[in-house]
């Protein structure tokens, strides 16, 4: 059974946390008259323990961020989309991510767009066959006409947990501590919105999003609109 990528980091981080805490807070020195060790912080041991604790904390943040990502090995279905028109350029989108309950969003525009963040590994993790990871990022509306895009209302909704640590921020803050992670990679796909349209969203093994119509009615609707 494959080990979840975040466990590769969280388990060593936990071990480092215990070692660092032991070095930083461990008791040492001579014993008192009752035979108990007197508490003494030796400067070198304290410094080493503090460095290990800092490494464990950064590793824990990275593991917590990777926990939201999913392994990407084949064409992976990641979401289903259905639309209900509410008014002119106004739609109610029901979006269901894989393994999650459906959510509804009110979106304005002519087209809907979904974006994902993809983690691609650098050497030597890439040579070791570590699969890419993905996390769905946001759902938004867009306009076919660039002029309308500049002047009309925009709607955008997060699909991931924005409270979790961000890998890009961690990599910028600790570039030498995260040598195998490349997060400067995103993918997006968009399709027309019309009443009753239904779509399936997929990610291929290289991290590219693509969309397929879900049903003949949507296929016919796309053909009528020149798609």
- The ranges of the chain with pLDDT < 50 are 1-4
pLDDT digits (tens, 9 = 90+) for 140-152: 999 999 999 999 9
Q: What is the pTM of this model?
A: 0.64
Q: Which of 204, 202, 205 is nearest to 213 (CA)?
A: 202
pLDDT value of residue 54: 74
In this prediction, residue 2 carries a pLDDT of: 43
Domain-wise residue ranges, the chain = 5-66, 73-224
pLDDT, residue 73, reads: 61
* CA pair distance 68, 9, nearest whole angstrom: 14
According to the model, what pLDDT value does residue 159 have? 93
pLDDT confidence of residue 1? 40
Separation in Å, CA 160 to CA 67, 99, 202: 12, 13, 17
Is the four-CA dihedral 208, 146, 94, 137 of positive or negative sign? positive
């Amino acid at each position: 059974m494959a080990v979840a990528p975040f466990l590769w980091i969280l388990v060593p981080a936990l071990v480092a946390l215990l070692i660092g805490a032991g070095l930083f807070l461990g008791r040492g020195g001579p014993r008192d008259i009752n035979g108990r060790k007197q508490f003494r912080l030796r400067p070198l041991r304290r410094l080493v323990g503090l460095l290990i604790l800092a490494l464990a904390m950064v590793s824990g943040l990275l593991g917590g961020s990777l926990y939201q990502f999913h392994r990407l090995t084949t064409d992976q279905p990641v979401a289903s989309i259905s639309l209900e028109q509410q008014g002119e350029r106004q739609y109610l989108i029901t979006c269901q991510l894989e393994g999650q309950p459906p959510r509804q969003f009110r979106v304005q525009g002519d087209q809907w767009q979904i974006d994902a963040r993809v983690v691609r590994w650098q050497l030597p993790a890439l040579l070791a066959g570590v699969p890419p990871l993905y996390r769905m990022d946001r759902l938004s509306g867009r306009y076919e006409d660039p002029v309308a895009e500049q002047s009309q209302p925009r709607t955008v909704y997060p699909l991931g947990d924005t409270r979790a640590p961000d890998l890009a921020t961690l990599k910028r803050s600790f570039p030498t501590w995260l040598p195998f992670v490349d997060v400067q990679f995103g993918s997006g796909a968009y399709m027309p919105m019309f009443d009753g349209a239904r779509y399936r969203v997929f990610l291929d093994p290289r991290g590219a999003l693509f969309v397929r119509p879900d049903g003949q009615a949507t296929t016919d609707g796309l053909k009528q609109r020149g798609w």
